[in-house]
């Protein structure tokens, strides 16, 4: 799929261990393809994702665990399933921002998503996802936030002759009994450094428009619309 979309994968898997909870920043629907191409994993997503065109089908084919929000009983079942999967040495992936961004900053991490791994004594693996143009500029083509539709996102990706997707793992966290908020904060900081991202509490407001790319380490010059809810 990545090859068909003209995306080259560059993955640094230095810190991978068996049965990790992979936590990553969330930019696009193709994040799932990037993670699976580098490090096959089951995903945790909100129940609504199952009904999304194309993305829901892709998620269902990928052993996705669909979380019914607001149901404590269902959450306990999901937590047990995640712990069992990790215990078998399989990986599980979550997007703790709880939504997509334009890929140029990092939102707050929801620490509760890390609890199943920590309770089961399994490590947390922070992984940074970023997208780049061949000339070294950060690319905004894959962004799937705000009012951008799946079709617009896909056309923006296909409009590039080549994109580079980078997945960089960082040292494992949660190995010494740390509580989940501490692990979430450490994971967020590690991902921000690895992806060269500022850590924003709220999306920055900028004029309307859909910019294509930005200089490495810089900021976009187009819109940053409030992001809709996405994979948990």
- Classify the C-alpha dihedral 111-38-149-25 as positive or negative: positive
What phi and psi, each to the nearest 5 degrees, are found at residue 121? 75, 25
| Percent of the chain at pLDDT exceeding 70 | 83
- Classify the C-alpha dihedral 43-85-87-1 as positive or negative: negative
Of the pLDDT bands very low, low, confident and very high (cuts 50, 70, 90), residue 227 is very low
Looking at the predicted structure, is the pLDDT value of residue 69 above 60?
A: yes
**Tell me, what's the pLDDT at 223?**
32
| Rounded average pLDDT over 8-20 | 97
The region, left, alpha or beta by phi > 0 then psi within -120 to 50, assigned to residue 19 is left
Whole-prediction pTM: 0.81
- Which residue has tokens 């924003």? 200
Helices of type H across 161-230: 180-195
For residues 77 and 125, what is the distance between their CA atoms, to the nearest angstrom?
A: 23
For residues 186 and 183, what is the distance between their CA atoms, to the nearest angstrom?
A: 5
Looking at the predicted structure, is the pLDDT value of residue 213 above 50?
A: no
**Tell me, what's the pLDDT at 230?**
39
Q: Is the Cβ–Cβ distance between 107 and 95 less than 8 Å?
A: no
Domain 7-214: CATH architecture, name and number where available: 3-Layer(aba) Sandwich (3.40)
All structural domains of the chain with their residue ranges: 7-214
Of the pLDDT bands very low, low, confident and very high (cuts 50, 70, 90), residue 198 is confident
Strand 138-139 with 213-214, pairing:
antiparallel
Each residue's pLDDT tens digit, 150-174: 899 999 999 998 999 999 999 999 9
For residues 24 and 19, what is the distance between their CA atoms, to the nearest angstrom?
A: 16
- Residue closest to 2 by CA, chosen among 213, 159, 165: 165
Q: Is the Cβ–Cβ distance between 47 and 67 less than 8 Å?
A: yes
- Range from 27-31, 57-61, 71-75, 83-87 carrying the lowest mean pLDDT: 71-75
Q: What is the mean pLDDT of the chain?
A: 83
């Amino acid at each position: 799929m990545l090859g068909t979309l003209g995306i080259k994968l560059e993955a640094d898997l230095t810190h991978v261990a068996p049965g990790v909870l992979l936590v990553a920043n969330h930019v696009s629907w193709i994040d799932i393809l990037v993670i699976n191409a580098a490090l096959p994993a089951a995903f945790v997503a909100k129940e609504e994702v199952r009904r999304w065109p194309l993305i829901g089908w892709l998620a269902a084919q990928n052993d996705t665990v669909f979380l019914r929000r607001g149901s404590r009983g269902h959450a306990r079942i999901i937590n047990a399933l995640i712990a069992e999967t990790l215990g078998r040495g399989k990986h599980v992936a979550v997007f703790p921002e709880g939504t997509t961004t334009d890929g140029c900053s990092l939102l707050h991490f929801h620490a509760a998503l890390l609890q199943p791994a920590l309770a089961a004594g399994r490590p947390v693996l922070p992984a940074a996802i970023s997208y780049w143009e061949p000339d070294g500029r950060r690319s905004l083509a894959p962004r799937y936030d705000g009012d951008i539709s799946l079709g617009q996102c896909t056309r923006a990706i296909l409009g590039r002759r080549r994109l580079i997707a980078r997945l960089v793992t960082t040292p494992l966290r949660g190995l010494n009994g740390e509580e989940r908020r501490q692990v979430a904060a450490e994971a967020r900081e590690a991902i921000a450094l690895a992806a060269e991202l500022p850590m924003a509490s709220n999306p920055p407001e900028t004029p309307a428009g859909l910019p294509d790319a930005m200089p490495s380490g810089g900021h976009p010059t187009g819109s940053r619309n409030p992001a809709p809810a996405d994979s948990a």
